[in-house]
Amino acid sequence: MYAAAPSGVIGVLDLQGGVQEHLEHLRRIEVAGQPIKHASDLEGLAGLIIPGGESTCLARLLRIFGLREAIEAHYHQGLKLWGTCAGAILLARENIGEAPCLGLIDIAVSRNAFGSQLDSFNDEALAPALAREPIPLTFIRAPKIISVGTDVRVLLQLNDYIAAAEDDRILVTIFHPELTPSLAFHRYFARKCGLNPASGDETDLDPNWTPQSWIQSRK
Ligand code: GLN
């Protein structure tokens, strides 16, 4: 059991990368979100999103701020984790050719496996466990998940790679739902954290979303 009563709040690790976009998606599904900068901020969270960004930079900042051990400790007490892109790299047990960071989920990832920043792309695909309609997918210098352990379920397989997977406590996606109108993965993670997000329609797309909407909604 989780030591502190979960507050119903999902934290977003706020060291580097796509923080505001995740907080905005949490707001859209009516789940309280909080930027997390210090180990003490982790107390009582229901879940933590480790956003996309640059995994080498994030790994370094985690070490500098003592957050690596703190996240591990809270994970072992029941904190649910979701890593998007660089976040998935940090959570992977194996990072091909490099040292793993948190190593908490039994997946192997290959960094920058699609090529350079210029090889970033949008796609869409059906993930039956999450939504009935295809989900828009944005890949930005993404890794590939190339294998998963027996306790890990594949949520989205595309061509020669796995794009989303989970075990009982961790969700990983190599794309960025927070940069699309799709709320399906945020709702899915909130439920995984034991929360009750507002329900969406069949498409689970926010009709008011624009690429700049997180900027516009800041007062
Ligand atoms: N290429 C980055 C890395 O290896 C990840 C990119 C992202 O998070 N969009 O850390």
pLDDT of residue 6: 59
Query: pLDDT by residue (tens digit) across 152-163?
Result: 999 999 999 999
Among 61, 111, 118, 139, which residue has the most ligand 1 atoms within 8 Å of its CB, making it the best to mutate?
Answer: 111
3 inside domain: no
2 inside domain: no
Taking alpha carbons only, the member of 24, 2, 3 closest to residue 12 is: 24
Given a cut of 90, whether residue 219 has pLDDT beyond it is no
Which residue has better confidence, 47 or 199?
47
- Atom number, ligand 1, closest to the C-alpha of residue 139: 9
Protein residue closest via CA to atom 1 of ligand 1: 141
CA–centroid distance, 113 to ligand 1, in Å, is: 10
Task: List, in sequence order, every beta strand (DSSP E) within the chain.
Answer: 9-13, 32-36, 47-50, 80-84, 92-95, 105-110, 121-125, 135-139, 144-148, 153-158, 161-166, 170-173
Domain span including residue 139: 9-217
**CATH code, domain carrying 160:** 3.40.50.880
164 inside domain: yes
31 inside domain: yes
CA–centroid distance, 157 to ligand 1, in Å, is: 19
Distance CA 99, CA 19 (A): 25
74 inside domain: yes
127 Cβ neighbours under 8 A, 6+ residues apart: 135, 155, 156, 164, 184
201 inside domain: yes
33 Cβ neighbours under 8 A, 6+ residues apart: 9, 10, 11, 12, 22, 23, 26, 27
Q: Which residues are catalytic?
A: 85, 176, 178
Domain total of the chain: 1
Burial code (b: 16+ CB inside 10 Å, e: under 16) for 104-118 equals bbbbbbbbebbeeee
Distance CA 172, CA 184 (A): 14
Q: Which residues line ligand 1 (CB under 6 A)?
A: 52-55, 85-86, 89, 111-112, 140-141
pTM flag (> 0.75): yes
Taking alpha carbons only, the member of 89, 38, 91 closest to residue 65 is: 38
Query: pLDDT by residue (tens digit) across 49-101?
Result: 999 999 999 999 999 999 999 999 999 999 999 999 999 999 999 999 999 99
1 inside domain: no
4 inside domain: no
CA–centroid distance, 56 to ligand 1, in Å, is: 9
Query: pLDDT by residue (tens digit) across 118-137?
Result: 999 999 999 999 998 999 99
